[in-house]
Amino acid sequence: MVAHMPETNEGVIDAARGVLEPEVNVLASDADWAWPEALRDIFRPRGVNLLVAESAAEFVQIIQRKRIHTAIVDMDSEKSDGLATIRIIRIDYPSMPCILLTSRAGESLLGKALRLDVFSVIDKPVNMSVLRVQLHRLFIKKYNSYIFAE
Domain count of the fold of the chain: 1
Provide the residue range defining the domain that includes 59. 12-143
Mind listing the pLDDT tens digit for each residue in 89-122?
999 999 999 999 999 888 999 999 999 999 999 9
**Residue 78, domain CATH:** 3.40.50.2300
pLDDT of residue 12: 58
Q: Other CB atoms closer than 10 Å to residue 64's CB: what's the count?
A: 10
Q: Average pLDDT, stretch 71-76?
A: 93
Cα 134 to Cα 76: distance, rounded to the nearest angstrom: 20
- Confidence band (pLDDT; 50, 70, 90) for 78? confident
Q: What is the pTM assigned to this prediction? A: 0.85
Looking at the predicted structure, is the pLDDT value of residue 1 above 50?
no
Q: Is the pLDDT of residue 7 over 60?
A: no
The lowest-confidence range among 25-34, 59-68, 84-93 is: 25-34
H helices of the chain, in order, are 35-43, 56-65, 82-92, 107-115, 128-143
Q: Is residue 38 part of a domain?
A: yes
The mean predicted confidence, pLDDT, of the chain is: 86
pLDDT band at 84 (very low <50, low <70, confident <90, very high): very high
Closest CA to 61 of 74, 48, 70, 52: 52
The per-residue pLDDT for 5 is: 34
1 occurs within a structural domain: no
Alpha carbon separation from 47 to 18, 50, 90 (Å, rounded): 12, 10, 27
Would you say residue 3 lies in a domain? no
Instruction: Give the whole-angstrom CA distance, residue 77 versus residue 30.
Output: 8
In a domain, 109, yes or no: yes
Other residues' Cβ atoms within 10 Å of the Cβ of residue 77: 18
Listed in sequence order, the residues at least 6 apart from 44 whose beta carbon sits closer than 8 Å to its beta carbon are: none
Distance CA 92, CA 96 (A): 9
Residue 89 lies in a domain: yes
Q: Is position 125 within any domain?
A: yes
More confident residue, 139 or 22: 139
Q: Which residue has the higher pLDDT, 17 or 69?
A: 69
Query: What pLDDT is attached to residue 138?
Result: 98
Could you tell me if residue 120 is inside a domain? Answer: yes
pLDDT band at 35 (very low <50, low <70, confident <90, very high): confident
Rounded distance between C-alpha atoms, residue 130 and residue 136, angstroms: 10
Report if residue 148 sits inside a domain. no
